Structure 1
Amino acid sequence: MLLSPAAAGVAHARALPQGLAEEHAAYEREISHHTAMVALGQVATTGDRKVLRVLHLFPGTARQFYEITTLDGGGRSRWRRIKNPAYPVALGTWAVIDGTVFFFSSELVHGQDAMPDRVASFDLDTEEWAPTIRGPLSSSSSLGVGDGGVAAAGAGHPSDHMDWGELSLADMNGCLVVTHRTLASSMDLWFLMDVEKGSWVRKYRMQLSISYRHAEHTVRPLLVLNDGRIVLVHLGNRGSLKIYDPRTSSSTDVAEIGPCVAVGLYNGSVLSLANDAN
């Protein structure tokens, strides 16, 4: 079920279609044991809102089903099967930007990829998968320093950058970002500068004084403020919002949000919410 905030603080629920796509109906009993991910996005050319759903069957299988529906507002939506990507996608983290859904792909190209950071993308307009692109850690085997002191992809792998940790995807100010958090509580933010070329730039390396011993200590970036500070969300049983200042390399707690597993930003016009409620 999707909640659409409307005027006067009222939230209107919009139910997603019941059941499965027609082509998957025969697997209903098998799909009863699964994990699922849904991503909501809007097609810029038509204004259609679509929901992409990935069903991951378990235990002991990497089999996935992919379905999509268009929200028509009249209760007539249904799930439709879409073509599978060449390789399964990871469900732990994803981002939706300008009608494209981004995931980490399970594809690992021998001799090219040093980390599981290859990115898959699905176009909600054409309902087609694009070829995967190499992630920043695999495509940058050494770090050069570009204009403004930012690190750019080069050749060779720096030992300090390849420490294993947590990888996640984020939409920051309309740009796809891969975050790499190491066991040393360092977090790098890699911005995708050119989709066609697959070029990434590391704009930030943050030092976070947060223990990594517990799974609940997950930090995700939300946006960059006009003054250069970065808003972070600390997920877990005691969720909070933080602001990180690159000039002082320090973070400040600004709000407690309680238990949470994800936080997103609404990028549309607030003035349109009342019309959606009618």
Structure 2
Amino acid sequence: MASPGPSSAPAIRPTRRLAPAAPNAAGVLPPDLLFDVLLRLPAKELCRLRAVCRSWRSLTSDPLFAGAHAARHPGPLLLAKFRDDEARVHVVDLSGSVVKRIAGPDGHELLCTRLHLACVASKGNSCHVLDPATGAAYALPESPAPEHVNHENSRDPYTFFASGRVASTGECKVLRVFNRTEFDAFDQQQLFEVFTINGGVSNAQWRARQSHYLFVEANNAAVVGGVVYFLTDCAYDLMLFFGVNTGIHPDCIASFDLGTEEWRRDIQGPISSGLSMDGANATEEYRSIWHKLTLSELKGSLVLAYHRRHQSLDLWLLTDFERGLWVKEYSIQTESAIPADEYFVKPLLVSDDGRLVIFLASTGLLLIYDPRTNSFSEVEMRRLDAVGLYTGNLLEFTRW
């Protein structure tokens, strides 16, 4: 992971003519020199220095400066929600340092996104979009799509949200799932709706979309390339416990395309295909897989993470959706690095030097695995409630 600093990228000088300093202005730096000086400072300090004067605010907000600063200070930034701070989202770096704090509504969870925006939502049907660069917040409407107004699920909402960007149009969309009101109420459908964040007045309401024929695990979803991927609901695991073989595999994956706003065909994961369900022990092993799988995104591909208790963490990358081809990219010996009862192991990113950043949802820890030394290290920060990737620029104002 490249270390940010003055030597991390060549100096970039402005190609736009800057206003000259006023004559006889004692102590005022020439514009070109001020550009170079401010360029060396981290984003955290520049966000504070914007309050010095209008000219500094104008300079540091200029897209030219913002682009030059991003080139000079590479390295991923994370969006984090800490367990001891329910009201704010934090932008942090991989050293654990807080770069910026953004106010948000209490009691909302941070969605695991890879966007220039942050999304926070509650199970009670409240979703807000936050702009880390400006601190602006936008509350999505809570009223359902017209087709779902009188539906039981929307009258007593229990909701999940996912958000992603459509590459072909640049639109950011949110998918809302009205879940079943009762865990075992199989006569109730999950309801799905889409909202376009930057779609203008004409799209300022939720649009009802077709429900999936299987129940999906809305709380275990990943967005890759504008497609939302879901594992099947663990309710099928419960049915298997009572001896009802539905034929639904724990690594069966559904996918919803945010661009077309339609479901794609389901694909089978690489885990359960080699297992037999004959015998009590085999059935128990098959059932246990449901609670060891997590979906994520790495290097632009869908990842299925399989955490074997006290053994290993296997990461499978989907290489060909149409043919359903998977490749095991990592098989990491976890030993005592990851607790045996950790049920939600989510890989977040691969750094430029090959290190893997992993989030442990149960314990709230962020780990870095180095394949060169086969070792884990813990990022020193407060316990996390949720974490995602920030792909925007804190110095450049976002226009929704």
TM-score by length of 1: 0.79
Aligned residue among 68, 74, 78 for 2:205: 78
Is the Cα–Cα contact under 8 Å of residues 35 and 56 in structure 1 kept in the other structure?
yes
In the other structure, the counterpart of 1:136 is 270
Aligned residue among 354, 367, 371 for 1:246: 371
Is the Cα–Cα contact under 8 Å of residues 294 and 344 in structure 2 kept in the other structure?
no
Q: Deviations over 1:163-222 (max 9, x none)?
A: 735101001121100001122252110010111111001111122223234x6x643111
Residues 86-235 of structure 1 aligned to structure 2 (within 5 Å): 86-106=213-233, 115-139=249-273, 164=289, 165-208=291-334, 209=336, 210-213=338-341, 218-235=344-361
Q: 1:276 to 1:131 in 2, by over 3 A?
A: same
In the alignment, the residues of structure 2 paired with residue 89 and residue 95 of structure 1 have an alpha-carbon distance, to the nearest angstrom, of: 12
Is the Cα–Cα contact under 8 Å of residues 170 and 176 in structure 1 kept in the other structure?
yes
User: Match for 1:187: what amino acid?
Assistant: L
Does structure 1 residue 274 correspond to structure 2 residue 397?
yes
Structure number with the higher helix fraction is 2
In the alignment, the residues of structure 2 paired with residue 130 and residue 255 of structure 1 have an alpha-carbon distance, to the nearest angstrom, of: 40
In the alignment, the residues of structure 1 paired with residue 199 and residue 345 of structure 2 have an alpha-carbon distance, to the nearest angstrom, of: 35
In the alignment, the residues of structure 2 paired with residue 140 and residue 197 of structure 1 have an alpha-carbon distance, to the nearest angstrom, of: 18
Q: Deviations over 1:145-175 (max 9, x none)?
A: xxxxxxxxxxxxxxxx977351010011211
Is the Cα–Cα contact under 8 Å of residues 348 and 358 in structure 2 kept in the other structure?
yes
Structure number with the higher strand fraction is 1
Q: Secondary structure at the match of 1:11?
A: coil
In the other structure, the counterpart of 2:94 is none
Identity %: 39
Q: Secondary structure at the match of 2:148?
A: helix
CA RMSD between the two structures? 3.0
Q: 1:75 to 1:221 in 2, by over 3 A?
A: same
User: Match for 2:136: what amino acid?
Assistant: H
In the alignment, the residues of structure 1 paired with residue 199 and residue 327 of structure 2 have an alpha-carbon distance, to the nearest angstrom, of: 40
User: Match for 1:219: what amino acid?
Assistant: V
Is the Cα–Cα contact under 8 Å of residues 5 and 273 in structure 1 kept in the other structure?
no
Is the Cα–Cα contact under 8 Å of residues 207 and 250 in structure 1 kept in the other structure?
no
1:273 Cα deviation from its structure 2 partner: 4.6
1:3 Cα deviation from its structure 2 partner: 1.1
In the other structure, the counterpart of 2:149 is 25
In the alignment, the residues of structure 2 paired with residue 67 and residue 185 of structure 1 have an alpha-carbon distance, to the nearest angstrom, of: 40
User: Match for 1:211: what amino acid?
Assistant: P
In the other structure, the counterpart of 2:9 is none
In the other structure, the counterpart of 1:4 is 131
Q: 1:212 to 1:122 in 2, by over 3 A?
A: same
Structure 1 unaligned blocks of 5 or more: 142-160
Does structure 1 residue 54 correspond to structure 2 residue 177?
yes
1:32 Cα deviation from its structure 2 partner: 4.5
**Higher relative contact order, structure no. (Cα contacts within 8 Å, ≥ 6 residues apart):** 2
Does structure 1 residue 15 correspond to structure 2 residue 160?
no
Q: 1:273 to 1:136 in 2, by over 3 A?
A: farther
1:232 Cα deviation from its structure 2 partner: 1.0
Is the Cα–Cα contact under 8 Å of residues 149 and 155 in structure 2 kept in the other structure?
no
Aligned residues: 250
User: Match for 2:173: what amino acid?
Assistant: K
Structure 2 unaligned blocks of 5 or more: 1-127, 238-244, 276-284
TM-score by length of 2: 0.56
- The farther-off stretch of 238-247 and 97-106 is 238-247
User: Match for 2:171: what amino acid?
Assistant: D
In the other structure, the counterpart of 2:11 is none
1:39 Cα deviation from its structure 2 partner: 1.1
1:85 Cα deviation from its structure 2 partner: 1.8
